[in-house]
């Protein structure tokens, strides 16, 4: 369970980073000449959230299987 001690805080901080990047994307795309590549920036923290979220989701099921 030692991995769990860093996965949960990492997941929380990544969710904050995701929220900030989404807000920054809305602001950037609202400009008169929007920078289109900014719309891809939230995908990085979103991918990290996917993997850490799936891991945290599977933890109880893996614990039941072990014993």
Residue-wise pLDDT tens for the chain (67 aa)? 566 689 999 999 999 999 999 999 999 999 999 998 999 999 999 999 999 999 999 988 988 887 6
Give me the pLDDT at residue 5, please: 83
Give me the pLDDT at residue 1, please: 53
pTM of the model as a whole: 0.84
The rounded distance, in Å, linking the Cα atoms of 32 and 25 is 14
């Amino acid at each position: 369970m030692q991995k769990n001690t860093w996965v949960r805080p990492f997941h929380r901080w990544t969710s904050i980073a995701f929220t900030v990047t989404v807000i920054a994307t809305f602001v950037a795309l609202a400009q008169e000449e929007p920078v289109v590549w900014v719309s891809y920036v939230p995908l990085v923290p979103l991918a990290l959230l996917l993997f850490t979220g799936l891991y945290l989701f599977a933890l109880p099921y893996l614990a039941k299987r072990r014993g």
